[in-house]
Structures are given as C-alpha cells and as structure tokens.
C-alpha cells in the first residue's frame, strides 16, 4: 500500500521534491499547499509534465485548516515551505499524520512548537535532509574526537540570492560545538545549489570533508527516505542522523582503538 503524502511548498525546491514523490512507486502525492494562489486548483503532476492527476494545489490563503486535514488525511506531511507552516501542523496530528520538516531556519519558538507536537505524533526535523550531508556531520564529529585540537572552520556556498546563513551550516556548527558567528564562512555566487565543507587544520596537514548538492532532487530523495522511515516510528522527535542509523556506538565502545588512532594522527600532524 502506498504512503500518502501532503507537501508544503511548491517553489524552487518544493516543485522538484514534488516530482520525486510522484515518481516514487511507494508514495502518492495527495496534495500541495503553497503560500501564493498561483496554479490553485491545478494538479502539480500536470505542471511537472505528467499526464495523470496527482498533487492538487491549494493556497494557504484559502485553506480552512480546522477542516482540511479531516477531508484530506495523509500518512506523512513533508514541509519544504517556510517556518510559518509549523503553526498548521497541530490540526494534522489529530488525524495521525506524521511530519517530515526540512525547513532551514526555525527560530526558538518554532522549535518549541515542534517539540510539543512530537508528543502527539512522530516528527523528523532536519534543516538539510539530503543523505550525504548527514554522513558529513557524523564523519566530522568522529574526526573531531580524534583530533580535538585542530582548527575547525565551516564553509557554506549557495546561490547568489540566498540571504540567510545556511541552516545546515548552523546545524553542523552546533553538532561540533563551534560558535556559529566565528566559524561559519558564507559564499554567495551564481547558481550553486548547496555546498558545505568542514575544514580541519593541523600543523602539517589539512583535512576537508565536503558535500555538494548538484540537483535539488537530492532533497526530495532524502525526504522520501525520511518519510518511509518515520512510518515505522513511535511518537517522538527524530533527526536524519537517527533515520540513517549513524549513531556510531561501536566507536564509543572501543575507546582504546580511538586513542591509538588519535595518537597516530597527532604524531603525523
């Protein structure tokens, strides 16, 4: 049986995500909610070049959220819109919908709302939901344990018109215990989809861990993976790292090997 999906957002990234959902044999895109009234009443599938009806578009300006989810129940809501959509989840969870949120920049108030809603349903939140960026974060945390005295900087590159500091870069800084004001370096040029680099500087060598998204389809593929994973989870709040089973218990259980590797790298440095 297919997973029914509702999508918030149909902009530059959201439309690509919608196409990935439509193309996935295990998912069915029931509806799309966007801020503007553009293409309201049409089907996202038609706009994306498909012949069948899938993903009817609704405008947030005209949706009555007190009734909408009762009439349009879905298994999972995927959110690629903006932080204001979190205010509308509260009605969805009453009908059992799980949430996958890929919003880049939530403020503290929005995060608190997610925490409250996670007491009623399963919620996965990741500011960058690509599979690769989460591997980057786990690899960076492991390397930091091995060479804790390395100079560490984060470089994030995005398209010219992106205004805010990358939410993913902030998440990486938090994971590594770095001050985001001092250790995040932002570059805005051309049409770069998204590139993140963690640089570890040692006296005699430099280690760089890099992830680059070449196409926004990577976000859709990550979101679909998360949606399928969260269908098997209990009520609570989850991260993409958990969905990828990247809690590296084997490393914490084998401190001797880590200590040996740390001594070896320190010597090489």
Give me 189's structure tokens. Answer: 């040029």
Pairing mode of beta strands 205-213, 98-101: unpaired
Is residue 195 flagged as an active site residue?
no
61, 133, 175 from 148: Cα distances, Å: 50, 21, 14
> Three-state SS across 23-91?
HCCCEEEEEEEECCCCCCCCEHHHHCCCCCCCCEEEECCCCCHHHHHHHCCCCEEEECCCHHHHHHHHH
| Catalytic residue of the set 72, 141, 158, 211 | 158
The total number of residues shown for the chain amounts to 269
Q: % helix / strand / coil in the chain, to the nearest 5?
A: 40, 25, 35
| Catalytic residue of the set 46, 73, 162, 195 | 162
Give the Cα separation of 218 and 110 in Å (integer): 25
Give the Cα separation of 223 and 230 in Å (integer): 10
In this structure, what DSSP letter does residue 252 have? H
Is residue 196 flagged as an active site residue?
no
Instruction: Please enumerate in sequence order all residues whose Cβ is within 8 A of that of 231, keeping only pairs 6 or more positions apart, or say none.
Output: 3, 75, 76, 98
Give me 71's structure tokens. Answer: 């009439």
What is the number of H-type helices and E-type strands within the chain? 12, 11
Cite the active site residues.
158, 162
């Amino acid at each position: 049986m297919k997973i029914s999906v509702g999508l918030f957002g149909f902009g530059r990234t959201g439309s690509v995500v919608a196409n990935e959902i439509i193309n996935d044999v295990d998912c069915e895109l029931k509806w799309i909610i966007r801020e503007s009234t553009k293409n309201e009443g049409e089907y996202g599938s038609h706009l994306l070049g498909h012949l069948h009806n899938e993903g009817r578009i609704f405008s947030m300006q005209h949706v009555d959220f007190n009734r909408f989810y009762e009439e349009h129940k879905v298994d999972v809501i995927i959110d690629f819109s903006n932080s204001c959509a979190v205010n509308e989840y509260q009605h969805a969870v009453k009908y059992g919908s799980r949430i996958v949120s890929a919003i880049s920049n939530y403020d503290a108030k929005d995060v608190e709302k997610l925490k409250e809603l996670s007491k009623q349903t399963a919620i996965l939140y990741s500011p960058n939901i690509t599979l690769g960026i989460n591997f980057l974060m786990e690899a960076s945390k492991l390397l930091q344990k091995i060479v804790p005295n390395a100079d560490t900087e984060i470089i994030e590159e995005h398209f010219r018109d992106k205004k805010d500091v990358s939410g993913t870069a902030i998440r990486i800084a938090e994971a590594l215990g770095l001050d985001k004001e001092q250790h995040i370096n932002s570059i805005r040029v051309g049409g770069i989809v998204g590139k993140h680099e963690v640089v570890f500087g040692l006296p005699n060598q430099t280690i760089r861990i890099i992830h680059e998204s070449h196409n926004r389809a990577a976000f859709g593929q990550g979101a679909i993976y998360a949606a399928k994973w969260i269908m098997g989870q209990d009520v609570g709040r989850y991260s993409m790292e958990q969905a990828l089973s990247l809690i590296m218990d084997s490393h914490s259980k084998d401190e001797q090997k880590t200590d040996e590797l740390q001594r070896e790298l320190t010597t090489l440095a």
